[in-house]
Chain A
Amino acid sequence: MTSFSARVEVSHRPGIADPAGATVERALPALGYTNVTQVHIGKVITLVVEAADAEAARAQVEEMCERLLANPVIESYEVSVSALEPAP
């Protein structure tokens, strides 16, 4: 078994309102950033999983996303997985 570092990015599904992103988008021009559009705020979840290989780790994290980490009704997610460096 190998340790894999997984990073899950959870964001609003297209078409689902993102009130926090919209509020930040309205605030940025006050600081002089008048050229900004499409601000979206999501969340990042990082975890370490033990798995036989990267594909197994990814499959398991995606299952976690479907069951808990994201709400498929309003959120989409992206999973990236990389092998952790072995401890020296």
Chain B
Amino acid sequence: MSARVGVVQFPGTNCELDVMWAIEQLGGEAELCWHADATVNGVDAVVVPGGFAHGDYLRTGALARFSPVMTAVREFAAAGGPVVGICNGFQVLTEAQLLPGALQKNAGLKFLCETVDLRVETASTVLTNACEVGDVLRVPINHFEGNYVCDADTLDALRAEDRIVVRYVENPNGSLDDIAGICNEDRNVVGLMPHPERASDVMLGSSDGVVLLRSLLAAAGARAAV
């Protein structure tokens, strides 16, 4: 039985179909989880995809945090379920306090849409378990608010606990300590600004995101087997 991945859809989400396509290409089953439903339908992993949830009004992710589905995502995460937030999904997870810190406007005040090099910093997360530390992956970014910030104590904890998951090789947005993605203490919730689903086939210019999505499917499969 293949792993089932729930892909959360808020009003304004726009990467959900890309994520589902990439998951299905890799042999997973993908289904949408509508934001107004307070359930993730018993899936084995959850992706909060990119876009502009609730129009990003007030702050990115601020309103999405209160959608009923987020209660279910929070419970799923607390039970150890793999949760990955991509781009706007990362912003939603920080606002929901499933991940520490916040994402603010890029240092150069430009919307960035380019392919960047990411260095994998830890292989013990639900998104990087099939990677080697030090792997460099070419993955697109597409954001205006990707500039990660947190207080000094949080940064110390992220470093000490090996919770910086991926770093930019060349920092495009002013992000603190070149952070492109982080995980929670239990390592089952990961947020990152780059889009693995947009690097999921050579036809798209890079297939380096596949190893990340395979990692997620492996984590989902392990959970499905329990």
Residues of A that sit less than 8 Å from B by CB: 16-17, 19-20, 23, 68-69, 71, 73-74
Contacts and interface: CB of A to CB of B under 8 A. Distances in A.
B174 A19 contact: yes
Given A17-B147, A17-B149, A23 B109 contact: yes
Contacts of A17: 104, 107, 147, 149, 174
Given A16-B149, A19-B147, A74 B104 contact: yes
B178 to A, nearest CB: 15
A20 B58 CA distance: 16
A19 B107 contact: yes
Interface of B is mostly: loop
B193 to A, nearest CB: 16
Interface in B61-105: 62, 66, 94-95, 100-102, 104-105
Given A17-B174, A19-B174, A74 B149 contact: yes
A69 B174 contact: no
Contacts, number: 36
A20 B105 contact: yes
Top-9 shortest CB links A-B: A73-B102, A74-B102, A19-B105, A19-B109, A23-B109, A19-B107, A71-B102, A71-B59, A74-B149
B134 interface: no
Interface of B: 58-59, 62, 66, 94-95, 100-102, 104-109, 147, 149-151, 174
B145 to A, nearest CB: 10
Contacts of A68: 58, 62, 66
Contacts of A73: 94, 100-102, 149-151
Contacts of B94: 73
Given A19-B147, A71-B102, 12 more contacts: A16-B104, A16-B149, A19-B104, A19-B105, A19-B106, A19-B108, A19-B174, A68-B62, A71-B62, A73-B100, A73-B101, A74-B149
25 contacts: A16-B104, A17-B107, A17-B174, A19-B104, A19-B105, A19-B107, A19-B108, A19-B109, A19-B147, A20-B105, A23-B109, A68-B58, A68-B62, A68-B66, A69-B58, A71-B62, A71-B95, A71-B102, A73-B100, A73-B101, A73-B102, A73-B149, A73-B150, A74-B104, A74-B149
